[in-house]
Structure 1
Amino acid sequence: MMSDHKDSQDLLGQQALRVQSVALDLSDQLVRLALAAQTAWLDLWVLPGLRAIEDLQARQAQQARTARLVRRGIPAPLARQGLRVL
């Protein structure tokens, strides 16, 4: 009788450890899912902004090149075509 009680306690202890292990695995997966979702959200919001900044910088650089060419005497329509003066 005492042995049956001890065996059932051992079984319950093993089950509790298995449940705890599964719960830890599940929480680990939930953290990974949350990080992946946060990264995806951040990409959706930040990357377009970064691309817009790059586009703005490229436009400003083109305008600066055009202005330099015009100052050197190149007609504005030709300077806007992106000619390079050596």
Structure 2
Amino acid sequence: MRDYYYTYVLRSLKDGKNYTGYTQNLKLRFEQHINGEVASTKHRRPLILIYFEGCLDKQDATHREKYLKTHYGKLFLKNRLKQWSYDESNLI
């Protein structure tokens, strides 16, 4: 079976800002963020996963991550998530 990569966006509930990254194991990487094992998000917890997309290979995922960090990528996310609303009561 083919190995996929994922580009993902987390939102900090502490400062309201987004963090964009990529990984081959989305569940494990999200757990690392939640547990404070990632230096860049350790002090921005709690975090929620607000967006992810699958990529066919690492190069595709890194290009997509870089795009989502640009002005146009942020506009894409804003438009993509405009109907999304977050409800703390649904958090586990």
**TM-score, structure 2 length as denominator?**
0.20
Tell me which protein shows more strand as a share of its residues.
2
Comparing both chains, which one has the higher relative contact order based on Cα–Cα distances under 8 Å and sequence gaps of 6 or more? 2
Larger Rg: 1
**TM-score, structure 1 length as denominator?**
0.21
Tell me which protein shows more helix as a share of its residues.
1
